[in-house]
Amino acid sequence: MSSSQAAGRRERILRAAVREGLLDPEHALLAGFVDLDGVAASVAALRRAFPDGVEVLHAFAAKANCLVPVLERLRRLGMGCEVAGPGELAQALAAGFDPGRIVLDSPAKTRGELRRALDLGIAVNADSFQELDRIDGILAGRRSSSRLGVRVNPQVGGGSIAGTSTATATSKFGVPLADDGSAERLLRAYRDRPWLTWVHVHVGSQGCPPELVAEGIARAVEFAEEVDRRLGRRQVTGIDIGGGLPVDFGSDDTAPGFDAYVALLRARVPALFGGRYRLVTEFGRSLLAKNGFTAAYVEYTKTAGGRRIAITHAGVQVAARTVFLPEAWPLRISAHDGTGAAKGGPPVPQDVAGPCCFAGDLVARARPMPLLEPGDLVALLDTGAYYASNPFGYNSLLEPAVHGALIEADGTVRFELLRAAQTLDELLTRTGG
């Protein structure tokens, strides 16, 4: 899809939302939107990228968008689900995922979480030697159909965003492979536990180049091959390669695409595709980010120190990463009039500010764009993952509604409610009122 086509599609959804009252300057000041057609296209692209003859479970990373209707739609599109705690597991089960298509990852799994996962037959990737000891104790008293593996840290280094780099030398995740004696200890753990049949690796996500991710996967596969070689038997039958394909937040480009990523893996880690291993992927951001946006009204405008400032209803409560780490998580912003139509006019440097009571609540600084006025709309682009579905409760602002959008062949936009807007009564109940 070209940039103009993507922009036209967003504008069509935005204008329909205004007409239907999903955005209203008095009653619906802020809302998130997920392009469900785009989600289906992204899932189809992921599935096409992997060659026939390789058994792959594509498990969506629920942390990227944990709304149950979104998870349910992904399930209907053939996805599995990767979860990282009891809340996400409950959401995955509510969305109808079969336990055998759910993967549990977390560095802090409790005994209760492990018992439940093993009872249900959910795949578990142990994160540490101590967790393996806990699993030993649980399995001593029961049988389980769960696929069990260990997350390894290949220690290949980090990308440009430290907070999303999980294969550094001192990462909190997984069993380090390069630390003195660690790989040998892990080899013994596999020898003593024939039920350990999977190896899991996740190098990181945004900011990590695909080449770094591929190198981490290669080291995990090398460890799996070493397990089988040292034990003299085929024990490792599956590799969970995680996710981590970065997203271009600077344009409508979807590069690097899943096809290019798989081509890189086939060149660097051909053993993945020889039929010896079953595979699991855990993509999240790369499936949903570009298929969503967040729209908000401009309430006021002002000038301070010669700088134009637009006070909007989209700030840290829906874009926490962008507000707190703007250099790492910048967002494109489009300007629209009150009908949702794209604004024209010469670009003017403007701060786009949120409603929260601290000076740093800005989603853009000195951003050149058509001059914003009260009653206009701004759209924060590429927020289908990690934005509307993960609100931040600053100033007790209410969580906005999130709507799914489908565009029919005749151009008609059909909306589905994915999450209702939070009410004041619900907020008071949650905060003890």
- Looking at the fold, whether 224 and 214 belong to one and the same domain comes out as yes
- Please give the angle made by the CA atoms of 194, 200 and 203, to the nearest 5 degrees: 155
Which residue among 287, 319, 342 closes a domain? 287
Residues 6+ apart with CB under 8 A from 259: 45, 48, 49
Residue type at position 257: G
Let me know whether 199 and 89 are in one domain. yes
Q: 276 and 369 share a domain?
A: no
pLDDT band of 327, cuts 50, 70, 90:
very high
Same domain? 83 vs 115 = yes
Pairing of strands 307-312, 347-353: parallel
Residues of the chain with pLDDT > 70, as a percent, come to 100
DSSP letter at 154 equals -
Q: Are residues 116 and 23 in the same domain?
A: no
Query: What is the rounded average pLDDT of the residues 402-431?
Result: 97
Of the three residues 229, 252, 287, the one that is the final residue of a domain is 287
Question: The domain spanning residue 399 has which CATH number?
Answer: 2.40.37.10
**Residue 183 and residue 85 share a domain:** yes
Q: If you average pLDDT over residues 4-17, what whole number do you get?
A: 94
On the question of pLDDT at 141 being above 90, the answer is: no
Domain shared by 111 and 7, yes or no: no
Q: Are 140 and 194 part of one and the same domain? A: yes
Residues 189-247: pLDDT tens digits? 999 999 999 999 999 989 889 999 999 999 999 999 999 999 999 999 999 999 989 99
Give the pair of three-digit tokens for residue 143: 């049988």
Inter-residue contact 159 to 204 (CB < 8 Å): yes
Do 58 and 189 lie in one domain? The reply is yes
pLDDT score of 151:
97
SS3 413: strand
Domain CATH code at residue 234? 3.20.20.10
Query: Number of folded domains in the chain?
Result: 2
Same domain, 280 and 334: no
Q: Is-contact 69 352, C-beta < 8 A?
A: no
Measured CA to CA in angstroms, residue 258 lies from 47, 60, 132, 171, 209 at distances of 9, 14, 33, 26, 13
| Domain stops at, among 262, 287, 312 | 287
Burial of 184 (0-12, 13-18, 19+ CB in 10 A): exposed
Answer yes or no: do 232 and 356 share one domain: no
* CA–CA separation, 12 and 233 (whole Å): 58
Band (254; pLDDT cuts 50, 70, 90) = confident
Q: In 3D, which of 201, 217, 218, 211 has the Cα closest to residue 256?
A: 211
**Domain residues for 92?**
37-287
Tell whether the model's pLDDT for residue 389 goes beyond 90.
no
| Tens digits of residue pLDDT in 53-84 | 999 999 999 999 999 999 999 999 999 999 99
- Whether residues 273 and 386 share a domain: the answer is no
- pTM: predicted TM-score of the whole model, two decimal places: 0.96
- Would you state the pLDDT for residue 75? 98
Region 24-50: what's the mean pLDDT?
Answer: 97
**Residue 4 has what pLDDT?**
81
